[in-house]
Chains A and B, each alone.
Chain A
């Protein structure tokens, strides 16, 4: 289980990235965050954001048309 979950379902660009970044401020280095999104743009935006900000995308999967991203804070 991730340390925190961000529900960005039904939200469009730029909200999945913005909400993830905001929630990252509330967790510590080494902790994980799970983002759930339905915005198809998140499939490219979230990996790009994670790699550019130095955080690591541990896992990514699709389930019932929802995209899940597990990100570990740097």
Chain B
């Protein structure tokens, strides 16, 4: 049983029946162990509608205003065989991924031409109450091309339950590069499901900054496959959970060939009754010699009832690799607090300083200045005593 039964019953998609039969994953499905499925299961989800806008947006499972810029083409000829296989793997993981597949609205395929340089800003519009929108975006980045992909979320004040699901397939050809920035500050009623599958050819690069502040719950499944030599990826993430928010990122990096490098840095800051899950898995295959990976995961717990479920995993089958990893869970550092307080900074302000500092490790690396500014403003708003830092920034930053 799931809240999608009615929609699935109406669907003629090949996997609709299977999705309905299987229902939502239970906690026995390891990857879904901590996901609160109550709202998913109990909401009587309805088909989405689209809102009006002028910019490139995802609204109710449809992409609107597909940009026409130099170097970017919308492909009409459908998926390649390998894309189809990757999407199949994504779709058949469990009952919910089948649902995502069966209820998919729009599948958009975009191609960035060889040596082109394109910036795409996609805004996720808030869906209406009880609406569940599902979409798929396939992006091919040509050789030596560069794509800057920015995803933002409309932070409507409305807090009615709604669902936004986006599956993304990204294939980067030789020497291509993708900088992906996702700033999720969605409305408090939204459930967000993001699945990203990236494949990197020789000397291709993919960086991801993923910032999760908003929504009721957000789940990201990210798979990055380094399939060409000298491919490299760098993923940085920050999730803030306040109230009873749940944020969950499952990140897997697959070093399929040698001389590939990866780095992941993830920070969870959890307050109130919030909960964060982070699963970071790095696989270095037998033939992926001379690969290197760095993993840094830190979790900051700010209340008694806050919970984190961190799980860093390193699976290494090659013998000539460099791997470093670290995972910490803790509360604010006492020595740092004392230092600030000994300078006359009040306890509440000192705590805000340190929370800000924890988040800044990720935020300060966001390359896009305007979005970084938005992230910082929102971050300071989320902190219980962020006003002092906001004032200092205003007064002292040039």
Say whether A and B bind each other.
Answer: no
- Spell out B's residues near A (CB within 8 Å): none
- Spell out A's residues near B (CB within 8 Å): none
